[in-house]
């Protein structure tokens, strides 16, 4: 859920007063800080909403956004245009190796076929266009085939409604799936009938394994009813300040089972945060 750095020129100039109001609102709503150096970027992003609403001035848009009607109707669209989402299938593959070799055997009685377990629950928080949760689905489906009795449930969430639509459609350009192992491509991907389109789709078997939802990680209570065995929140908190990171980690802590695992991105760390997690691998943490 990083901020979009597209510097497309804006036709409008935003006054400092509106910039301050918008940047404060985006921080409160999405946890993302927009420094003054990114004012041009914010102008370019919000210009899309002005055009969609038939407005010509940022002052007019601000009056709408901060009205009761705008708070109800526009916040989702505002967040959509100021955030962007970069992800890949099997991104940071060592995490999926750790999941299969270290975490899953602990859950399933060390791999004992006779062990009785509840479904393994995993949450992709900040799932973007779906590559991460569909990678999870491939990995867990393969593990389930080799491990009798193993069951799992995947929840995937993002604050951006546009990327969630893409994720649920599960259609990707062929070059986006280059990082998927060939055997899994053959098993879980469907080619478009029109080969000139260069598109593939995740098969229905995998699509049905993932429940997509819009969840704002800045909400006081995260809308996840059941405790999770694993939470992936990778390359998200790097865009938050330390207090926001700490608050989110405590919310994740409450949503994990005892001994549950949290996976962060390769450039993220909990060092310096007073949170109840123990490092057990490269950007992998265990709930204390």
Residue positions annotated with a catalytic role: 45, 158
Tokens of 255: 């949503």
CB atoms within 10 A of CB 2: 15
CB atoms within 10 A of CB 76: 15
User: If residue 281 lies in a helix (H) or strand (E), which one and from where to where?
Assistant: strand 277-281
User: If residue 231 lies in a helix (H) or strand (E), which one and from where to where?
Assistant: strand 228-233
For residue 180, which of 203, 147, 157 has the smallest C-alpha distance? 203
CA 190 to centroid of chain Cα atoms: 24
CA 43 to centroid of chain Cα atoms: 25
What DSSP string describes 204-220? HHHHTTEEEEE--TTSS
* Angle, CA 233 vertex, CA 178 and CA 280 arms, to 5°: 100
* CA 213/CA 224 separation, integer angstroms: 10
236, 42, 221, 247 alpha-carbon torsion, rounded to 10°:
60
Antiparallel, parallel or unpaired: β 277-281 and 284-287: antiparallel
* Angle, CA 238 vertex, CA 76 and CA 219 arms, to 5°: 40
Quick one: angle between helices 16-30 and 58-65, nearest 10? 40
């Amino acid at each position: 859920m990083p901020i979009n750095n597209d510097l497309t020129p804006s036709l409008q100039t935003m006054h400092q007063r509106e910039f301050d109001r918008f940047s404060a609102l985006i921080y409160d709503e999405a946890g993302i800080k927009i420094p003054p150096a990114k004012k041009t970027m914010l102008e370019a992003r919000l210009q899309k909403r002005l055009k969609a609403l038939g407005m010509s001035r940022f002052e007019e848009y601000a009056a709408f956004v901060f009205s009761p009607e705008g708070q109800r109707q526009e916040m989702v669209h505002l967040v959509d245009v100021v955030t962007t989402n970069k992800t890949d299938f099997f991104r940071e593959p060592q995490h999926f190796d750790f999941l299969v070799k270290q975490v899953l055997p602990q859950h399933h009685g060390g791999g004992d076929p006779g062990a009785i377990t509840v479904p393994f629950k995993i949450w992709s928080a900040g799932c973007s266009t779906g590559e991460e949760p569909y990678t999870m689905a491939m990995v867990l489906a393969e593990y389930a085939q080799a491990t009798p009795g193993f069951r799992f449930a995947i929840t995937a969430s993002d604050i951006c409604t546009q990327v969630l639509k893409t994720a649920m459609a599960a259609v990707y350009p062929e070059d986006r799936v280059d990082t998927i192992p060939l055997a899994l491509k053959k098993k879980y991907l469907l080619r478009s009938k029109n080969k000139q389109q260069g598109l593939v789709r995740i098969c229905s078997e995998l699509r049905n394994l993932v429940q997509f939802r819009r969840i704002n990680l800045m909400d006081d209570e995260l809308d996840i009813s059941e405790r999770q065995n694993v939470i992936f929140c990778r390359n998200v908190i790097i865009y938050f300040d330390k207090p926001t990171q700490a608050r989110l980690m405590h919310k994740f802590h409450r949503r994990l089972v005892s001994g549950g695992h949290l996976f962060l991105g390769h450039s993220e760390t909990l060092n310096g945060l007073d949170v109840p997690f123990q490092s057990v691998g490269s950007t992998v943490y265990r709930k204390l």
